[in-house]
Amino acid sequence: MATLSLTLNCWGTVELAHTRFSSTFTSLGRRSRYSICSFAKKSLKKSRRDVTEAAGDLLDDKSAVLQACIITCGLIAALGIVIRQVSHVASVEGLPVFDCSTEVSFGFEMWHLELITGLVVLISSCRYLLLKTWPDFAKSSEAANQQVLSSLQPLDYIVVAFLPGISEELLFRGAILPLLGMNWNSIGIAALIFGVLHLGNGRKYSFAIWATFVGLAYGYATILSSSVAVPMASHAVNNLIGGLLWRYTSNTPNQKLNE
């Protein structure tokens, strides 16, 4: 009887210990699941916050780039218009100054389309070959594209392609070139100024040499057509082609989004 009582007591003690252990284990399991869920929720909230902040930074960068592009192109275009108007007034007054508005107009003829197409093919092809064969030029181009295009969407490329194309050609081929005379000397001077102004912000001398070559091509087309519309259209389309090729052949845009 004593042995049976001792056995029952021991069994009760074991069952009590087992019950307490099970209760403790269940409690730990619940706490563990709660901790995991809490950690997951915090991680998810942090990830969402990081994505939101990254998207906000991209929108800020995009706005800054577009605003800078609009303001800069507006100033360049205004300078070109002023030079054209001043030269016109000076010429009418009898001063020995070339009338830019007479020498180079905004006129357009159907055969200009062939000239524009030829310029686009020539310049885009040369750029592609140089990117593959001239490392320094490729590096300079990458720096320029990252600075301007990395925060933009493809539709934004229309703005940053056409505004510089129109404003820069209005100044360099629509004002400076005819002001100096419609000859190879004026083509070279305008192209050289155009090239030098493309230095800086990661763009090295290789990029300036390239811009000078492009300026020579646009200058020759301007004299050939007597219209600034030809270099404007060619410049804008070449900018757009270059930007789109960079976006879809470079890993930088994707890296920017993933950072």
> Which residues are 203's β-sheet partners?
200
Question: pLDDT tens for residues 169-194?
Answer: 999 999 999 999 999 999 999 999 99
Residue 129 in tokens: 């070959």
Tell me the Cα Rg of the chain: 34
Residue 136: per-residue pLDDT: 94
Mean pLDDT (the chain, rounded): 83
Whether residue 223 contacts residue 118, with contact meaning beta carbons closer than 8 Å, is answered with: no
Residue range 114-129: average pLDDT?
Answer: 97
Q: Is the pLDDT of residue 86 over 50?
A: yes
The label of the residue with tokens 């998207």 reads 55
Contacts of 147 (CB under 8 A, 6+ apart): 201, 202
Cα–Cα distances (Å) from 16 to 10, 13, 26, in that order, read 10, 5, 15
Question: pLDDT tens for residues 21-79?
Answer: 455 545 545 555 555 555 555 555 555 555 444 445 557 789 999 999 999 999 999 99
- Give the start-to-end residue ranges of the domains of the chain: 44-258
% of the chain at pLDDT higher than 70? 74
Helices (H), 134-204: 135-149, 156-171, 177-180, 184-196
Q: Is the pLDDT of residue 96 over 50?
A: yes
Question: pLDDT tens for residues 204-219?
Answer: 899 999 999 999 999 9
Residues in the chain: 259
Whether residue 99 contacts residue 91, with contact meaning beta carbons closer than 8 Å, is answered with: yes
Residue 14: per-residue pLDDT: 39
Residue 35: per-residue pLDDT: 55
Residue 109 in tokens: 């003829």
